[in-house]
Structure 1
Amino acid sequence: MASPFSPAEEAYLDAHKHESRVADIHWVYSVPIAAAALSTALRFWAKRLGRNGIALDDYLILFATFCLIGQCSSGLGYGPPHGMGRHVIVVSAYDQMMVRKGDYIFSHFYDLALVAVKLGILAFYYRVFVHTIFRSVVLATAAFVVAWGIGITVTLFLACRPLNAYWDATIKGQCLTMVTFVYFTNVSNLITDICIFLMPIPMIWHLQLQTKKKLLLSFIFCIGLATCVISSIRLTVVLGRGSADFTWYYVPLGAYSVFEPLGGILCTNLPIIWHMLRKRRAMNRSLGSSSKTHDSGTPTIGSGSRRSRIAHMLGITTIDGTQNESAVRIQNDSTVKGQNSEGVPNTADFHRLDSLESQKPDPNIWTTVERFDSAGPGAADGADELTPGMKKTVWNVRK
C-alpha cells in the first residue's frame, strides 16, 4: 500500500514521532466542561434567587451545555487513549479507527450544541423584545437555524455509504469530501452568528434611554461576537481535517470546535447572572435602608424595632379595633392640664378635650396605663401631676 506521505514528510514525521499534544487535549476539553456546567448552574441559581421563572431560552442553554459536555467527553474518551495528539505513524490501525469514530460522535454533539445556543439566544430575544416586526425576524431566523441544523445532521449521517466507512478504512464505500462539508458548515455558521448577535442593536437604539446606557447594552449583546472570531480562526485549521496525519491535526480543530459553543454559552449566561445579582443586591440595599429608617424614627408598633415587637407580644397596640387614630398620646403638662402659659384654662382646650373624650376607646374593652418617661420629684412622690419639662405616655391596653 502506497504511503500518503512524501519522502520529506516521512522524514519529518520520523524525526518528530516522540512529540505529543496529549496534555493539551486534557485541559482543552476539561476546562470547557467545568466552565459551561458552572455558568449554567449559576444561571439557574440566579433565576431562582431573583424569583424569575425558567423560560424556554434557559432550557435551550441547558441542553446546549449537555451537548458541550458530551462533545468534550467524546474527545477525552476517544482521543488520548487511542493516540490522538500523537503523529499518525506511531498510532495503530485500530486506534486510528477509534479516533475517527470519536470524531464522528464529536461532530454530532458540536452541531447540536451550536443549534441549541443559537436558538437559546433567539428565544431570549423573543422574550425580551415585544416589537412585532422584530419578533417576526427572530422567528424567521430561528426557522433557518433549525433547517440548518437538520441539514448538517442529515448530511453527516449520509457522509459515507455504508456509514462504517467513515471511520473504518478497510471498508470500501463512497464518502463525501469532508473538508468541503466542514467549510460550508463554518461559513454558514459564521454568517448566522454575526446576524444573530447584531440583531438587537437597532432595537436598543430606539429605546428611550441615555446614550451611555445604549452603548452599555449594545456592548453586552455584542460580546457574543467573540465566538465569531473563534469561528474565523477555526476556518484556518479546517484543512488539517484532510491531512493524512489527522491524529495530530485534530487537536487544534477540536479545541476551536469546543470553545465556539462554549463562548456562546458564556455570553448568554454571564449577563443574566450579573443582572440577577445586581437586582438582588439593590433589593437588599433598599430593604436595609428601609429598616434603618424605621429604627431611627419614633418607635411605633409594627415598625420593626425591638420595643414594638415586645409591645406587640404583650398585646399592646396603637390601633383600635375600628382603625381609629393611634391611642398612644405623648402629653406635656400644658395639654394635660388644659391651661395656657399663664395657668388659665383655655376654652379651645376644653372643646378639644371634649372631642377627645368622645373618641376614647370603649372602657369595657380597653384600660389606660400611664408611664413617666423620666424620673422627677412628682414621679418619685407618686403624684399625678407632672413637673415642667416632663412627659407622660398613656397606653391603651386591651383588658
Structure 2
Amino acid sequence: MSEILKRATFEATNSHQLSIVVVPIITGALATACVALRFRARYIQRLRCLFDDWLALVALILTWIFQGVNLAAVFAGGAGLPIETVIAIDPTAVTTYLKIILANFSLWVVTVSVVQLSILFFYIRIFSINKVFAWLSYVMVVLVTTFAIAGLFSEIFSCVPVSKSWDPTVNGTCVDGKSYCSAIGIIHVVFDLAIVTIPLPFIWRLKIAKGKKVVLSVLLCLGLVATIISLLKIVCLFDLTGIPQADVTDYLWLTILFQTVELPIGIICCCVPSLKPVMGEITAPFNSLASRLLSYSRRTDGQAGSNVYTSWSQSGDAGTDSKSQFVRLDSSFAHVGREGVQHDASAQAEEYELSRPSDNEPKDSNAINVSQTYAITRL
C-alpha cells in the first residue's frame, strides 16, 4: 500500500488522480462555508434550526466522508492509474479498489438523497401555505427516501454473495451492470429535475415583485448544474473517457470526479436561499470602505469649494457684481430653503444661482443667507 501511495503521489501530477484529489477539497470547502453561513443566518434571525438545516449538516458530514473514501480509492486502490500500473506495483490493490468502489456508490446514494431531502423540507417550510405544493413535496420526500433505501441495498447486494463484487473468482451471480447503472442514474436525474422545476409555477403565482420572482427562480435553477453533472457521470450512457471498461482502476475516474463535485454543489444550492440574513455581515466591511472613500472625496471637494466661496465673498465686498456662478450643492452638505443654507440638513439640490445681498440693502426673505460655513463645489 505504501508503494501505491508513493507511485500515486508522483503520478498524480500527470494523471487523472490530481483532479480527484484537489477538486473535492475545493468544492467541499465551499460547501462547508455555505452550511456554516446557513447556521449563522439562523442565529442572526434568532430562529432555531429546523429539520432541513440539520439535514444540510448531515449531508455535509456524509460528503466529507465520501471525499475521504475517494481519496482512499486513489492512494490505496490506485484509482486514476492504468490497471497494468496498479498490478505491477501491488496486485492486491485492485481488490482493495473494488471494495472501496462498493463503499463509494453505496455512500453516494445515501448522501445525494439526504441533500435532496434537505431541499424538499426547505420547500415545505417556506411554501407550506400552498396545500398542493406541500403534498407534492411530501410525495417527493417519500420517493427520495425509498430511492435511498432501495439504492443502498441494491448496491450492496448487487452480487450474491457480496464478496463477488470485489473477487470475481467467487462463485455467485451479479446483476447486469449496465442496466443497473442506467436505472439508478436516470431515476436520480428525474428526481433532480422534479425538485428544481416543481416550485417554479408556485413562485410565479406569488404576489411579489417580478424581480424577486426572477431571483428565486434563478436560485432554484442553480440546481440544474448538479443535474447536468449527474447526467454526465452516468458512464454507462455517456462514455466521455474512451477508456476500456476492463481497465477498472482508470475507467471510473471521471465518474468519481463528477460525484465529488455533484454533492458539494447540491449542498451549496440547498443553502443559498437561506443566506440572505447573513449577507449584510459579509458585505458590511466593503460597504464601510466605500463609505469612507466617498466621505473622503466629499471632504476634499468641500475644501476646494471653500476657496471658491472665499473668492466670491471678497469680490462682493469690493463692490463688484454680487452674482456668483452656478454651483451644485451636494445633498449631504447643504439644504437650500427659505431659511437659508443649513449645514446640518440634507436635501437634493440641482443648479442654483447664489447672490450675496449688500449691507445697505434690506434683507429679503427670499435671499440666500449664509448662517454657517458650507462648501460650494465649482462645476
TM above 0.5: yes
Relative distance call for 1:101 and 1:32 in structure 2 (3 A) is: farther
Q: Find the counterpart in structure 2 of residue 94 from structure 1.
A: 92
Of 81, 89, 93, the match for 2:76: 81
* Contact 1:126/1:135, CA 8 A, preserved across alignment: yes
Instruction: Summarize deviations over 1:76-95 as a string: whole Å, max 9, x none.
Output: 02322332111001212310
Relative distance call for 1:124 and 1:164 in structure 2 (3 A) is: same
1:248 lines up with 2:265 in the alignment: no
Shift of 1:132: 1.2
Relative distance call for 1:242 and 1:105 in structure 2 (3 A) is: farther
Shift of 1:47: 1.6
SS of aligned partner of 1:261: helix
* Contact 1:83/1:91, CA 8 A, preserved across alignment: yes
* Contact 2:45/2:277, CA 8 A, preserved across alignment: no
Larger of the two Rg values belongs to structure: 1
Q: Work out the number of aligned pairs and report it.
A: 267
- Which whole-Å CA distance do the structure 2 matches of 1:263 and 1:134 have between them? 25
Superposed structure 1 runs of 4+ greater than 6 Å apart: 279-282
Instruction: Summarize deviations over 1:317-339 as a string: whole Å, max 9, x none.
Output: xxxxxxxxxxxxxxxxxxxxxxx
Q: Find the counterpart in structure 1 of residue 24 from structure 2.
A: 29
* Contact 1:50/1:279, CA 8 A, preserved across alignment: no
Structure 2 counterpart of 1:200, one-letter code: P
Q: Find the counterpart in structure 2 of residue 205 from structure 1.
A: 204
Consecutive unaligned residues in structure 1, runs of 5 or more: 1-15, 286-399
* Contact 1:108/1:153, CA 8 A, preserved across alignment: yes
RMSD: 2.5
Shift of 1:35: 2.3
Shift of 1:270: 2.3
1:170 lines up with 2:169 in the alignment: yes
Q: Find the counterpart in structure 2 of residue 106 from structure 1.
A: 104
Relative distance call for 1:79 and 1:169 in structure 2 (3 A) is: farther
- Tell me: higher relative CO, structure 1 or 2? Use CA pairs within 8 A at least 6 residues apart: 2
Of 264, 272, 275, the match for 2:274: 272
Shift of 1:281: 8.0
- Which whole-Å CA distance do the structure 1 matches of 2:215 and 2:34 have between them? 22
Structure 2 counterpart of 1:31, one-letter code: I
Shift of 1:107: 0.9
- Which whole-Å CA distance do the structure 2 matches of 1:275 and 1:237 have between them? 43
* Contact 2:219/2:272, CA 8 A, preserved across alignment: no
Instruction: Tell me the TM-score normalised to structure 1 length.
Output: 0.62
Structure 2 counterpart of 1:69, one-letter code: W
Q: Find the counterpart in structure 2 of residue 160 from structure 1.
A: 159
Shift of 1:276: 3.5
* Contact 2:106/2:151, CA 8 A, preserved across alignment: no
Of 232-241 and 88-97, more deviation after overlay is shown by 232-241
Consecutive unaligned residues in structure 2, runs of 5 or more: 1-10, 288-379
- Which whole-Å CA distance do the structure 2 matches of 1:191 and 1:181 have between them? 16
Instruction: Tell me the TM-score normalised to structure 2 length.
Output: 0.66
- Which whole-Å CA distance do the structure 2 matches of 1:207 and 1:33 have between them? 34
- Which whole-Å CA distance do the structure 2 matches of 1:22 and 1:134 have between them? 44
Relative distance call for 1:237 and 1:259 in structure 2 (3 A) is: farther
- Which whole-Å CA distance do the structure 2 matches of 1:272 and 1:31 have between them? 22
Q: Find the counterpart in structure 2 of residue 52 from structure 1.
A: 47
Shift of 1:212: 1.9
Percent identity of paired positions between Structure 1 and Structure 2: 24
Relative distance call for 1:276 and 1:146 in structure 2 (3 A) is: same
